[in-house]
Chain A
Amino acid sequence: AQSVTQLDSQVPVFEEAPVELRCNYSSSVSVYLFWYVQYPNQGLQLLLKYLSGSTLVKGINGFEAEFNKSQTSFHLRKPSVHISDTAEYFCAVSDWGGSNYKLTFGKGTLLTVNP
């Protein structure tokens, strides 16, 4: 069984500051990893994904994440945040191969960017 732990439920930062949202996962097999963003009263939008290859993944809106297999982590980073980045961020995992096609999500991290 897979599981995802997002270590911080809330992260407040000031505008133009760097931010890191932490995600650890547990799985007995190789995985795909994802970060999604959810703005208030909206669905989920894919920020970035790791499938294979380079462990540093770049996504939309200036976000990037690094896959660390030994630490089973996939932390999301942005060097300088904007007010518009205020949203809920979800880390998710899926097995690759086999017949498991579902996404398992963490509980989310609320990023609040203050002026």
Chain B
Amino acid sequence: DAGVTQSPTHLIKTRGQQVTLRCSPKSGHDTVSWYQQALGQGPQFIFQYYEEEERQRGNFPDRFSGHQFPNYSSELNVNALLLGDSALYLCASSDSGRADTQYFGPGTRLTVL
């Protein structure tokens, strides 16, 4: 049984560019949440997708957007990249959004130069 997978593993972009990160949830899970983990910090909630809609959002600007597909996989898009967007982006999947069953992927390391 595959766990949560994310791609790519690492990514380097320059300021002003756009980036798309991808996540496939654990088998049987229908909800995907995205978190940003800056260096030396705990993960911060970006948003959650359930039934192809954004159900809840954290304190992130509109430059951060997402999408969920019918197969429950998800994308995180970040436009107009800033240096401060450099972080580890973690995807977590769960069953119907239950916080007690969130499983995390290995993350995508984004570096903005």
Contact = CB atoms under 8 A, between A and B. Distances in A.
Interface string B78-105: 0000000000001010100111101111
B60 to A, nearest CB: 12
A108 B41 contact: yes
Nearest to B42: A105
Range of interface residues on B (Cβ < 8 Å): 20 to 34
B58 interface: yes
Interface string B21-57: 0000000000101010000111111001000000110
B107 interface: yes
A96 B18 CA distance: 36
A70 interface: no
A56 interface: no
A29 interface: no
A103 B98 contact: no
Nearest to A50: B100
Interface of B: 4, 31, 33, 35, 40-45, 48, 55-56, 58, 90, 92, 94, 97-100, 102-107
Interface of A: 4, 32, 34, 36, 42-46, 49, 51, 90, 92, 94-96, 99-108
26 contacts: A32-B99, A36-B104, A43-B4, A43-B90, A43-B107, A45-B104, A90-B42, A94-B99, A96-B99, A100-B56, A100-B99, A101-B31, A101-B33, A101-B55, A101-B56, A101-B97, A101-B99, A102-B45, A102-B48, A102-B99, A103-B33, A103-B45, A103-B102, A104-B45, A107-B42, A108-B41
